[in-house]
Structure 1
Amino acid sequence: MSYTNDARAVWKMLNGVFIIYKPARVPLMVTRETISRNLCRDLNALKVRPPDPYVLIEGETNKKLRVSVRPSFADNVLVVGPRYQPQDFKINWANHLYQDTTGVVVCGVNDGCKLIHKIKRAAPTRFYRVKGILGKATDTHFITGKIIEKSTYQFLRRTHIDRVCAAMQSSHQKKMFEVCGIDIQSQAAYELAVKGLIRPLDNRIPMLYSIKCVDFQSPEFTIEIVCINENEMYLKSIIHELGMEMKSTATCSQIHCFQYGIFNVEQALLTKSWNLRSILESIESCDELLRKNSFLLEQEHPNLIAPHDEDLDLIEEENPALLEQSQK
């Protein structure tokens, strides 16, 4: 991309979506402050506008006045501070990763915050790799919490984890259609499923689409989860419930978000790259992605609360009682 030394021109380019990699144990609020400070530092190092001149009119009113132009102390950077300050930037994010979670965060700066709201409404799927440790349980469901229970785990194999994960996934898939008021074995369920992922209209309802074990080195294991509307505690509780289902205990040791929609970890900026040039390059690449994938901003999908009219007709044919239940 073309890069100029004029801070005012660069400021106009800072409107769009960019991707960062949030480290663990760092809140997103601290991340936003760090990015804002780095942008201020780099912008102020460029060629900023000169101080506005101060026009001074001197002399006696009954005589010819003298007009002089002097530097204005009221607009001097030594008096009012740097030209660009952290509060000048608007930065928001599409996916909120809590303190114990690390991974991809899709952010918007200035006018890009409007795109962030559209991406949120489209409800893209989130991809996680969650690590757990067998044999212990903590009060916070995370490895840093206080251990409240220990149990044996030597009898557990990967097949046990696979069996529980398959049962969890099947239960969530069945629940999707139950909330819609549709029999999962009906034609109405098929017509709804072929339209794409069924997303809840209420963003407070977590939905799990896929869960599978990708690594098992007892007592540690890793599961890969595809879901929406989740939060950090929900992912931790999955590991806790998985241990209980296997007649043992388990606690979460790491949560890694490696993809959000079409944005993956390979496109994310590491902490050392949270600077002006890298963010501008990320904005340019994200703009190209959004142009090629317009469905991220304007996405039509089935939901769990208000089925489409044609779906209601199919429901009525299959089971009128379910139709009445879904309308309630």
Structure 2
Amino acid sequence: MRSSSRAAIAISMAIQNSSLSKLQSCNGIFAIYKKQGPTSADVLNTLKKALLKVYPYTEAGVANPNPRKRNKQPLKIGHGGTLDSNASGVLVVGIGEGTKMLTTMLAGSKKYRAIGELGKATDTLDVTGNVVEEKSYDHITKEVFEEKLKQFTGEIMQVPPLYSALKKDGKRMSVLLKQGQEVEAKPARPVTVYSLSLQDFSPPYFTIDVECGGGFYVRSLVDDLAKALSSCAHIKELSRTKQGQFTLEEHALKEDRWTLTDISQALQPCPKPSGQQKNAKKTKSKHMPTPSESKGDDGNTND
């Protein structure tokens, strides 16, 4: 190889290593836009690949001289609250030390907009499932619908969907169901609905906005609401419009902005923990799941 070519490759790799160092020095949380279709894990992997283009595994057709380094994880990244593959919207991401902040995002307030269809229930409670029941909805008026919403505001009890990321014997319930195994529903648990409003009512379709706390399933809400109205329903479209301080319009970076520059500008830095907080986190981390393993928030059925 000519000396000029070697020099060009060396310069290029030096630039890439500099970019990687900047990426690895990022610590905090930011929000990205998850489109409808891929799982939350898929989206996170796509984000990681976009950012790790700076990592010099190969350059100018020259193989990495030390392929073992490829197995290393040069970037620590995770998300704070799974979205269904059929859902879109705000997905909060932690990078570096920011991954330790994600448990707070899981417990915090979130906002969703859901489009439901009356008259048909599915096994997954959304449009991806098989229709298992059909009922009339002609008796439901806008006034009756809005009145019934009041029963689902505040502290309520909710049974998580069977098709969810919740686990039984270490395996996701959705996976067990797809394998043909029988799965019992988890017991009802307390969840919080801060606000719930009807945005559009054009039977059989309706649109609702909901602000809720952690561990809440919008699919279960729509199912329970329809049953309370002596009918049935499922979700056709679901979008998370806000999670914690991050809103869909102002903060969620779309895929064309998944760059080091854009993320650095959007990054909310980690607060520096005190000595006591550091010790508490060490003790806590031994007993808590990683953020991407946590459940709820309309947990993904495939992720």
Q: In the alignment, which residue of structure 2 is the partner of 1:206?
A: 191
- Amino acid in the other structure paired with 2:242: Q
Q: Can you list the C-alpha shifts for 1:24-68, whole angstroms capped at 9, x where unaligned?
A: 2211221221111111113549xx9xxxxxxxxxxxxxxxxxxxx
Correspondence 1:237 to 2:220: yes
Question: How much identity, in percent, do the aligned residues show?
Answer: 25
Residues of 2 paired with 1:88 and 1:207: CA distance?
A: 38
Residues of 1 paired with 2:23 and 2:254: CA distance?
A: 22
Deviates more, 1:261-270 or 1:90-99: 90-99
Residues of 2 paired with 1:133 and 1:169: CA distance?
A: 21
Answer whether contact 1:44 1:83 (CA < 8 A) is retained. Answer: no
Identify which of 170, 183, 207 aligns with 1:222: 207
1:209-288 equivalences in 2 (<5 Å): 209-231=194-216, 234-266=217-249, 267-283=251-267, 286-287=268-269
Q: TM-score, normalised by structure 1?
A: 0.60
Q: In the alignment, which residue of structure 2 is the partner of 1:91?
A: 77
Q: In the alignment, which residue of structure 2 is the partner of 1:24?
A: 36
SS at match of 1:128: strand
**CA shift in 2, pair 1:161/1:118, >3 Å:** closer
Q: CA deviation at 1:277?
A: 2.3
Q: CA deviation at 1:258?
A: 0.4
1:147-166 equivalences in 2 (<5 Å): 147-166=131-150
Q: In the alignment, which residue of structure 2 is the partner of 1:177?
A: none
Correspondence 1:137 to 2:137: no
Residues of 1 paired with 2:238 and 2:35: CA distance?
A: 11
**CA shift in 2, pair 1:41/1:236, >3 Å:** same
User: Which structure exhibits the higher relative contact order, with contacts defined as CA atoms closer than 8 Å and separated by 6 or more residues?
Assistant: 2
Answer whether contact 2:154 2:192 (CA < 8 A) is retained. Answer: no
Q: CA deviation at 1:7?
A: 2.2
Larger Rg: 1
- Amino acid in the other structure paired with 1:259: K
**CA shift in 2, pair 1:119/1:171, >3 Å:** closer
Answer whether contact 2:194 2:211 (CA < 8 A) is retained. Answer: yes
Residues of 2 paired with 1:141 and 1:82: CA distance?
A: 45
Q: CA deviation at 1:9?
A: 4.6
- Amino acid in the other structure paired with 1:241: D
Q: CA deviation at 1:205?
A: 3.8
Answer whether contact 1:101 1:256 (CA < 8 A) is retained. Answer: yes
Q: CA deviation at 1:109?
A: 0.9
SS at match of 2:73: helix
Structure 1 or 2: more helix by fraction: 1
The answer for unaligned runs of 5 or more in structure 1 is: 49-75, 174-203, 292-296, 298-328
Residues of 2 paired with 1:8 and 1:149: CA distance?
A: 53
Q: Can you list the C-alpha shifts for 1:271-327, whole angstroms capped at 9, x where unaligned?
A: 2222222222221xx23xx78xxxxx9xxxxxxxxxxxxxxxxxxxxxxxxxxxxxx
The answer for unaligned runs of 5 or more in structure 2 is: 1-14, 158-188, 272-276, 278-303
Residues of 2 paired with 1:97 and 1:18: CA distance?
A: 16
Identify which of 101, 106, 120 aligns with 2:92: 106
Aligned residues: 223
Correspondence 1:36 to 2:48: yes
Q: Can you list the C-alpha shifts for 1:133-186, whole angstroms capped at 9, x where unaligned?
A: 01111122112211122222233221121011012226739xxxxxxxxxxxxx
Would you identify which runs of 4 or more consecutive aligned residues in structure 1 move more than 6 Å?
Answer: 82-86
Answer whether contact 1:42 1:276 (CA < 8 A) is retained. Answer: no
SS at match of 1:247: coil
Answer whether contact 1:103 1:257 (CA < 8 A) is retained. Answer: yes
SS at match of 1:33: helix
Q: Can you list the C-alpha shifts for 1:164-216, whole angstroms capped at 9, x where unaligned?
A: 1012226739xxxxxxxxxxxxxxxxxxxxxxxxxxxxxx7422222121111
Q: TM-score, normalised by structure 2?
A: 0.64
SS at match of 1:243: helix
SS at match of 1:30: helix
- Amino acid in the other structure paired with 1:32: L
Q: CA deviation at 1:86?
A: 7.5
